[in-house]
Amino acid sequence: MGVFPASRRNPGYGQGVVTLVAEPNEEERLAQRLRETFASPTYEPPLLPVAAMELIALTRKPDVTYREILKLLESDPLITGRTLKIAESPVYARGEPLRSLEQALTRLGLSTLSDIFLQVSMSTRVFRSASFAAPMEELRRHSVATAHAARLVCRATSLPDEYAFLCGLLHDIGAAACLLALGDSGPKQAAQLTIQQVRKPIWQLHAEVGRDVCKSWKLPPEIMMIVGHHHEPRIGGHVHPLAAAVLLADQLASQAGFPSPVEPTRTGEPENYLGLPDNAVLRLRTETTRHLATAVDG
């Protein structure tokens, strides 16, 4: 009746040899889909606003002038307005209300105002997904919190904080790219996925995807390296201080109430690759919690 005998159905029949092929589970299928998406020559990473990319390049020029920075910051009215609003928040406010970017630049300085502008640019143009709106908003808040925490960590040590805020802001950009890629797979398909289903595959891939996104944006190699190693700061047998600072900031931000939606719940003390004394870590935790209460949504 069309049924093959066991000897024909299984070549190993009677030989004591049986080959078992495990079916991939849903998480493995999602991870494979993400790998194929990012490996495809047609893949387009999320777009970093042009003004933000130009600002990163401009602030690295040794002879940059305030006038050049102002001209660039004023090129996007939407981002300009939100930048001024944050600059007037309790985290930065000093004295009289700010009435212009020029006044904000004079009062806050080039580095701080640039950080605010980049924060607004990322929040407005990158951390947005119709299919995963709530997790993406949670990821945005975690990234902003980590950026502020990274600057606090660096200032509590002898580490220069030139890239600290930016690296903290970008450290989970790979997770954002994964959410966008899964959300773009089609409204019906994406609607069937939950953050619980996609959390593990995104967690597995987000650091390397983030490194590649930074490469596509032509960011400095050190930023690419830090984003790619923010959970494994030991590179070539040596701890990269800024990668270790971002890892510590990541965990301090989560403990302060701003966790990543794709990161496994972690208990215990934060990973202290910087070798800071316990009392210094405790002070940082207290300062970070107090600072982030007004900084993230300021």
**The residue type at 104:** A
| Per-residue confidence (pLDDT) for residue 273, from 0 to 100 | 94
Q: Per this entry, what is the length of the chain?
A: 298
For 147-181, how does the pLDDT look when each residue is reduced to its tens digit (9 = 90+)?
999 999 999 998 888 789 999 999 999 999 999 99
CATH fold of 129-298:
Hypothetical protein af1432 (1.10.3210)
For 178-237, how does the pLDDT look when each residue is reduced to its tens digit (9 = 90+)?
999 998 655 445 457 889 989 999 999 999 999 999 999 888 899 999 999 999 999 888
- Bridge partners of 225? none
Dihedral sign, CA of 29, 34, 39, 43? positive
Residue (of 246, 249, 229, 228) closest to 238 by Cα position = 229
| Per-residue confidence (pLDDT) for residue 278, from 0 to 100 | 92
Q: Where in the chain is the domain with CATH 1.10.3210.10?
A: 129-298
Give the C-alpha separation, 221 to 77, whole Å.
Answer: 30
**Predicted model pTM:** 0.84
| Per-residue confidence (pLDDT) for residue 184, from 0 to 100 | 67
